Amino acid sequence: MIFKQFSTILFVLTFIISVNAQDHHTVAHFDGAQTGKVIQLTFVITAGNQCEGVRILRSTNEHNFIEIGQLTGVCGNNESDETFSFIDISPVKNADNFYQLDLKKLCTSDIIKVHFTDYREKGYVLNPNPVIEKSILYFQNDCNDEFDFVLLDKRGKKVKSMNKIRSNAIEISRGNLKSGTYTFQLILDNKVKYTGAILFQ
């Protein structure tokens, strides 16, 4: 009797492990990035896996997900990996957007995070400003161009600099700078692309 119960438990555990292992490899790649005013999601379903559509879910806290779209029909291919894309046309502005895929009757994907920045007319957002210790400067750089950053005091003297920035965000730490208003410049090809004021309290 005990042997039968042990065998049953072992079978169930083996089945769960097998299913989890399969789910882990169902989505080979899941990524997202801001492109202009939207977020583009890309994912790959590995060969041999098929689902009856995909629900795209979004959250701002990693927990309370809502459906923002669907891919209908059979998704996936028995012969080769298949790539899909989805565009979120209304992401939550100036916030982290969390995404998850629900592959119907198959599995759910891992959760990914994409920060969306509304650059407005200036092309950049500085948060927070005024600054106590540090701030994040988000700026539009869809093509991953190489920027240089310069921070100037009120006399125009360079007090901080960073070179060869290919991302769209940098952290500005106060360090030993005195309280007051400073000017930042983001330079591309020896020309000032973005400029603005930073107030250190």
In order, the DSSP letters of 126-156 are EESSSBSSEEEEEE--TT---EEEEEE-TTS
Q: pLDDT at position 16, please? A: 37
pLDDT of residue 25: 77
pLDDT at 61 over 70: yes
Average pLDDT estimate for 138-153: 94
The average pLDDT across 153-162 equals 96
Q: Give the closest residue to 73 by CA, choosing from 50, 91, 45, 100.
A: 50
Q: State the pLDDT at residue 1.
A: 55
Instruction: Give all strands (DSSP E) within 60-179, no chain letters.
Output: 66-71, 82-88, 95-103, 107-108, 112-116, 124-127, 134-139, 147-152, 158-165, 169-173
Q: Which domains does the chain have, with CATH numbers?
A: 2-116 (2.60.40.10), 124-200 (2.60.40.10)
- In this prediction, residues 100-107 reach a mean pLDDT of 91
Looking at every residue in the chain, the average pLDDT score rounds to 88
Whether 114 contacts 95, CB under 8 Å: no
Range ranked top by mean pLDDT from 17-21, 58-62, 102-106? 58-62
Calpha distance 68→57 (Å, rounded): 6
Q: Which residues, including other chains, have CB under 8 Å from residue 199's CB and lie 6 or more apart?
A: 129, 130, 131, 180, 181, 182
- Which tokens belong to 41? 């999601």
C-alpha atoms less than 13 angstroms from C-alpha of 149 in its C-beta half-sphere = 21
User: How would residue 35 be classed by pLDDT, with cut points 50, 70 and 90?
Assistant: confident
pLDDT band, very low/low/confident/very high, at 12 (cuts 50, 70, 90) = very low
| Stated length of the chain | 201
Instruction: Tell whether pTM > 0.75.
Output: no
As a dihedral over the C-alpha atoms of residue 133, residue 35, residue 98, residue 135, rounded to 10 degrees, the angle is: 0
